[in-house]
Amino acid sequence: MVRRVRAWTAAVLLMGWMMGGTGCRAEPWGLWQAYCRSFVDAQGRVVDHQNGDRTTSEGQAYAMFFALVANDRAEFDRLLAWTRDNLAQGNLATHRLGWEWGRAADGEWKLLDGNSAADADLWMCYALTEAGRLWNNAQYTALGKTMEIRIEKDEVASLPGFGPMLLPGTDGFHPSADTWVLNPSYVPLPLVERMAGIDPSGPWSTMARELPEFLRASAPQGFAMDWVSYTAAKGFAPDVEPGVKTGAGANAKAAPLGSFDAIRVYLWAGMSSTADPETHTALAAVDGMGTWLKEHPYPPEQVSAAGVPGTVAGPVGFSAALLPYLTAMHATTALRQQEERMEGQRNPATELYGNPPAYYDQNLAMFGEGWTSHRFRFDREGELRVTWKK
């Protein structure tokens, strides 16, 4: 079954290359079209049905990236317009993105949290920058540059004894004078490399060089963590998201771990260009997952702060996220197992993964499947390479 899926994908991609052109005709990508039918409304709002039909800046940014990969400019513009009007007070050039929009306690649909999510800001900045280049649109390019300046000003901190690093958001991640809380999945190497090209005098080149060490120092036994803290005296250590309770008690949450955020660390490392020397070091920093999958059929849903995997299998999106990583690690058997698992959970009726299909799983699947099927690549400088643009 996996071989048939690969053959069909290759045929579709070959047709796309032969058709060529640089216009705005959407490329055939069944998963993207299925995602739009299920999760994107007519206004361009990405709806997370598993979480109260809310919308996040992450969802909007990811969808804009996928629309660009699919050469779907009409959808890209709808997504951008909705984001501007609802998450940025009508003007992305002058207002930062709020991260969460949804139904408030009074029943009104509105922006629920105006704090930023830096990974979403970075992905949207990247999508705009690359859309400007690939679609030859100066307005996208200018808006991307404006966002880069704001991210650098508001969401990059210089960690004493280490160097510049992207904070998870504007507010709430510097809880004391000598402590910062960070999210390793918020810093994809290709995007950082691209920011360095946009602003060579900024912090991005240094951040890219430091990123593998950040991953290594914050990944116990080679397993990425969702959240980590940094102090100059102690360095990096697993932590919990700011504001989340820990310890005993009915309302307490588990200790620090690697799970739904951390799975993206492997994804980003696997998608990074092999021509970039930082890529190989980043992959080696998080090799624990590759070692685990040599002896186990599925990725764990959780890994403890000591680097010990749990016994519960992660959802199908975890398998999708690991396709580029396992490809880069030359883990052929484990790669085949994850592909077979995905095919077994693909619903022919919806053309999505899982029943019911979860929003987050489909996002991970579009990254993993899109990269594995060569719909897109990142080059050494982080520029996006797509099948529809020679």
CATH assignment of 40-155, among 3.30.9.10, 3.40.190.10, 3.40.50.12780, 1.50.10.10: 1.50.10.10
Closest CA to 192 of 257, 262, 268: 268
Averaged pLDDT score across all residues of the chain: 92
Confidence of residue 121 (pLDDT cuts 50, 70, 90): very high
How does pLDDT run across 234-260, given as a tens digit for each residue?
999 999 988 765 554 444 456 899 999
Other beta carbons within 10 angstroms of residue 237's beta carbon come to 15
Q: For residue 212, say if its preceding peptide bond is cis, omega within 30 degrees of 0.
A: no
Residue of 58, 72, 155, 276 marked active site: 58
Catalytically annotated residue among 48, 100, 119, 361:
119
Q: Which residue has the tokens 């200018």?
A: 142
pLDDT at position 210, please? 97
**Contact criterion met (CB below 8 Å) for 179 and 229:** yes
Full-model pTM: 0.92
**In the block, residue with structure tokens 């280049």:** 133
Nearest Cα residue to 326 out of 363, 374, 291: 291
Answer yes or no: 85 catalytic: no
Considering only 9-23, 115-129, 306-320, 365-379, which range has the smallest mean pLDDT? 9-23
Token pair for 337: 């197992």
Total Cβ atoms within 10 A of residue 325: 28
Token reading at 378: 């990142």
CA atoms within 13 A on the CB side of 37: 11
Query: Is 119 noted as a catalytic residue in this protein?
Result: yes
Instruction: Give yes or no for a contact between 55 and 101, defined as CB atoms under 8 angstroms apart.
Output: yes
In percent, the amount of the chain with pLDDT more than 70 equals: 91
Q: What is the pLDDT of residues 43-74, one digit of tens each?
A: 999 999 999 999 999 999 999 999 999 999 99
